[in-house]
Structure 1
């Protein structure tokens, strides 16, 4: 379902500009200070879950979007939110990345200290998702490193399962973004303060290392920087490398 379909059915006005699609089966559009994320019937439940998470985060001190409206028809649904100002982390210029790492670390720490989150993302469910993706042969090779592409996905999953008992034993729960990648964090281009977190469909209580693993590998791979300043600002200058490696491998197996 496109935004045009919704507009013709009277749900939305015209003159929306399509944005580049993310990894989910949704279409995203912008008009002024509004963002519209639309899906077909199969995606309504997932988009509604994201709506609830956006609304919850908007009631905290962590910056993000606000829910403006929820539009639903037999053809699908559309989530209207405010647009987060600033630029995505993927667009932060090289000269500003040091300062951005510090504010990113502080913001992720702020998120991880929020109380009373009603959403959960148990490790057992995440692993079950990975098992399903691998079983269906749906692992996206674009999410894998060059080394991992040479390994059968079932073997990658076996590596995850071999570390599961250790990770569960040392589990450290917090409110996590769930997809803490640079495009999902917006910054003020002048002050480098974080202006908001977006794409919250996976937000929930989980092991804090699930966020730290993605953030640090993104800083290394996309910005070509040592993530040390980020980890220091977060308050964890000497992280558990074993847990970082676990979640770095688990995450790309969950996106099929």
Structure 2
């Protein structure tokens, strides 16, 4: 039975249940037996990132049994970037770009997220008919998931040839970047289950579409702040088509 001091959090796409301690100081994720490996992977990534000196959550507790596992982490202060008021969004772009750039420059990451495995994951989601159309870009909804997957596979050789492997968040969206609401400085990243070495454009593409869809801000300023004056539009388009196929 869940202790009364833990309150359910109504979010997330997986079978993992999320709870917030009533005093706001910690979060607990509880996974069923088939989700233990995934939750263990997130635990290891939280531990590693905390050891780099990057601000963020700390692992407070881990328990595992035949029935599942529970991960307890400290709460990250600040607010999700998605919740910033309109008047602060433009001013937050330098902090967001700097946060991703700092993450991408971390050395000695033990985790990898090979593109071939990500494409295989997308193929499995498509095969199961589990693609969520709400995650697709407007221009992609006119195509069947099988057609989108084939486009990804056609572009995969180019993406592999041009990849710049860095420490990527793996789900670099505004809700997963927490900022101090006054200073707009980074207070931490959350939801690290996909963190690992991957092409920097896999993170950048997600943030580009987030800024446009959620904040109605063009991405040029963000990419310039990050350090890209002439971004590879072909790689951006590739990862924007691939990512929605991997959730399901």
Question: Normalising by the residue count of structure 2, what TM-score does the alignment of the two structures yield?
Answer: 0.96
Q: Residue 221 of structure 1 is aligned with which of 197, 213, 224?
A: 213
Q: Tell me whether 236-245 or 197-206 shows the greater mean CA deviation.
A: 236-245
In structure 2, the partner of 1:38 is 30
In structure 2, the partner of 1:10 is none
- Rounded to whole Å, the distance in 2 between the matches of 1:61 and 1:219 is 27
Over aligned residue pairs, what C-alpha RMSD do you find?
1.1
In structure 1, the partner of 2:7 is 17
In structure 1, the partner of 2:17 is 27
Q: Contact (CA 8 Å) 1:50, 1:201: kept in 2 or not?
A: yes
In structure 2, the partner of 1:81 is 73
In structure 2, the partner of 1:252 is 244
Moved over 4 A (4+): none
Task: Map Cα deviations across residues 28-73 of structure 1 (whole Å, 9 max, x no partner).
Answer: 1111211101111110110000000000000113221110110223
Residue pairs, 1:165-184, within 5 angstroms:
165-184=157-176
Structure 2 unaligned regions, length at least 5 = none
| Partner-residue secondary structure (3-state), 1:17 | strand
Q: Contact (CA 8 Å) 1:98, 1:229: kept in 2 or not?
A: no
Task: Map Cα deviations across residues 160-187 of structure 1 (whole Å, 9 max, x no partner).
Answer: 1111111111111000000001111111
Question: Normalising by the residue count of structure 1, what TM-score does the alignment of the two structures yield?
Answer: 0.93
Quote the offset at 1:120 in angstroms: 0.1
- Rounded to whole Å, the distance in 1 between the matches of 2:175 and 2:10 is 11
In structure 2, the partner of 1:56 is 48
Quote the offset at 1:74 in angstroms: 2.6
Task: Map Cα deviations across residues 148-206 of structure 1 (whole Å, 9 max, x no partner).
Answer: 22210000011111111111111110000000011111111101111110000000000
